[in-house]
Structure 1
Amino acid sequence: MSQWGHSMKSVVYEGYTIKSFPQQHLKSGQWKISLDIFWEAHGVTTVKCFTAETHYATEEDADLNGSTYGQDIIDGKVPGLSVD
């Protein structure tokens, strides 16, 4: 079971919008990255959702790392994940 975090951080990077909304595991209290990446091409907005299994002690840490993780996905630095 998980619970959605309270914050939603939005960052614009290289023409993409990254919206981070960490999820909390109810039993452990740990937080994990959950984010959406939006972009527009030819008048059509596309969104892709991503999560990471790395756990963080606080929602703020997961949120901050989520934005960086989204940038790494956009840059092609996360094997197996892309916005293509």
Structure 2
Amino acid sequence: MFTIEHEFDATVVTLIDEGDGLPLMGDVVITAFEDCVAVEQTDPDTEETVRITLSMTQLADLAAALNLPEGSYRIDRTPAPKG
């Protein structure tokens, strides 16, 4: 299950673990700003929150990596020639 909320300066997606496996993991909160994306998860046992912030370039690389086989890659970000 997940929720999506649009706030003034960000979109917040919360992923809620409803899996059959035990133990369930804490909710994952993804906050998308104009220039970065923050991913947070609170450990249900310690109540400690871990936050990872990704630049938009890192996020694009992650999205690309989800559909590629094992290996090392570099994305060419030079604009394509017009015409």
Rg comparison, structure with higher value = 2
User: TM-score, normalised on structure 2?
Assistant: 0.43
Q: Return the structure number with greater relative CO, CA threshold 8 A, min gap 6.
A: 1
Structure with more of its chain in strand, by fraction: 1
User: TM-score, normalised on structure 1?
Assistant: 0.42
